[in-house]
């Protein structure tokens, strides 16, 4: 998705005393369009603390017949900039190496029928599950079924997003595999809170999946001991609220505060 053009100095954004952007790329875009850089703070998205160490996976596994599978999961809309099509292509390669693997695609989107056709053509109907739309409060239960949760973003010139799925994956104590692009590489510490591969590198993604499939101890450690801890310390909405208060209080004392979130 392209960045929109913001109205310049006369706009409400430019007049704000505090502007909160969810990524460095978006912050740079704001300053380039006339917002005072000293008024801009970067605050990535976060996650509801109740998602931390999500439980209930056994029930979801039984529901989806995944009890004995190595489950690779994705949560998000099936749109080109989310990379579900790339993940399915990589899964075709990986499934030849690990026949017990299963791809769990949660949610819906305009590419769904195309993805289903590709799965059928590859003979993977029984190895890929499309859940359709899932209520947000039920997503932790599905995340708990996953051995690995993937954020397969393609290479995008202006990657200004702050991907919610990353924080939700980490909070649910999943081992995370993600493309090294935009804010993703700032959130995920390679080999510490997840594994990164270069965006568009299909063998690189397959290799990350293989490493985690072959080393369940490392996979569990990467999720439970590191990923969830990282999320709980740095990326909850409660922490975000505290940061906003921290930035806003001095301006309130000065008798002025006009805020904009971007």
- Residues 137-174: pLDDT tens digits? 889 889 989 999 999 999 988 889 899 999 999 888 89
Among 5-14, 43-52, 145-154, 193-202, the range scoring the smallest mean pLDDT is 5-14
| Predicted confidence (pLDDT) at residue 61 exceeds the cutoff of 60 | no
Residue 259: the pLDDT is: 56
Buried/exposed 199-210: b ≥16 CB within 10 Å, e otherwise: bebbebbbbbbe
The more confident residue out of 55 and 35 is 35
For the chain, the distance separating the N- and C-terminal CA atoms, rounded to the nearest angstrom, is: 15
- pLDDT, one tens digit per residue, over 227-254 is 777 777 788 899 999 999 999 888 776 7
- The Cα–Cα gap between 145 and 159 comes to 29
SS3 per-residue string spanning 135-160? CHHHHHHHHCCCCEEEECCCCCCCCC
- The Cα–Cα gap between 183 and 210 comes to 25
The arithmetic mean of pLDDT across residues 39-62, rounded, is 73
What pTM does this model have?
Answer: 0.87
Question: What's the order of all strands across the beta sheet hosting 18-21?
Answer: 40-42, 18-21, 259-261
The more confident residue out of 2 and 236 is 236
Residue extents of the structural domains in the chain: 12-46+236-261, 49-233
Confidence band for 85, pLDDT divided at 50, 70 and 90? very high
| Predicted confidence (pLDDT) at residue 94 exceeds the cutoff of 90 | yes
Average pLDDT, the chain: 87
Residue 16: the pLDDT is: 86
Confidence band for 58, pLDDT divided at 50, 70 and 90? very low
CATH node for 49-233: 3.40.50.2000
| Predicted confidence (pLDDT) at residue 7 exceeds the cutoff of 60 | no
Percentage of the chain surpassing pLDDT 70? Answer: 87
- The Cα–Cα gap between 167 and 227 comes to 9
């Amino acid at each position: 998705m392209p960045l929109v053009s913001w109205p310049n100095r006369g706009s409400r954004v430019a007049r704000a005393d505090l502007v909160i952007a969810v990524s460095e790329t978006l912050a740079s875009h704001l300053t380039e369009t006339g917002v005072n850089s000293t008024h801009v703070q970067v605050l990535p998205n976060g996650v509801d603390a109740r998602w931390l160490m999500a439980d209930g996976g056994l029930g979801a596994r039984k529901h989806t017949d995944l009890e004995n599978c190595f489950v690779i999961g994705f949560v998000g809309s099936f749109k080109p900039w989310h990379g579900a099509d790339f993940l399915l292509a990589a899964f075709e390669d990986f499934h030849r190496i690990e026949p017990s693997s299963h791809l769990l695609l949660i949610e819906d989107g305009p590419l769904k029928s195309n993805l289903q056709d590709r799965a059928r053509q590859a003979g993977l109907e029984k190895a890929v599950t499309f859940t359709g739309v899932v209520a947000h409060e039920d997503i932790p239960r599905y995340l708990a079924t996953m051995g690995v949760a993937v954020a397969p973003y393609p290479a995008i010139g202006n990657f200004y997003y702050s991907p919610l799925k990353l924080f939700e994956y980490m909070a649910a104590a999943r081992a995370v595999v993600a493309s090294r692009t935009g804010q993703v590489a700032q959130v995920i510490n390679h080999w510490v809170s997840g594994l990164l591969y270069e965006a568009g590198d299909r063998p690189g993604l397959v290799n990350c999946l293989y490493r985690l499939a072959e080393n369940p101890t490392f996979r569990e450690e990467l999720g439970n001991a590191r990923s969830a801890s990282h999320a709980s310390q740095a990326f909850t909405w409660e922490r975000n609220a505290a940061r906003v208060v921290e930035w806003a209080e001095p301006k309130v004392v000065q008798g002025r505060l006009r805020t904009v979130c971007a």
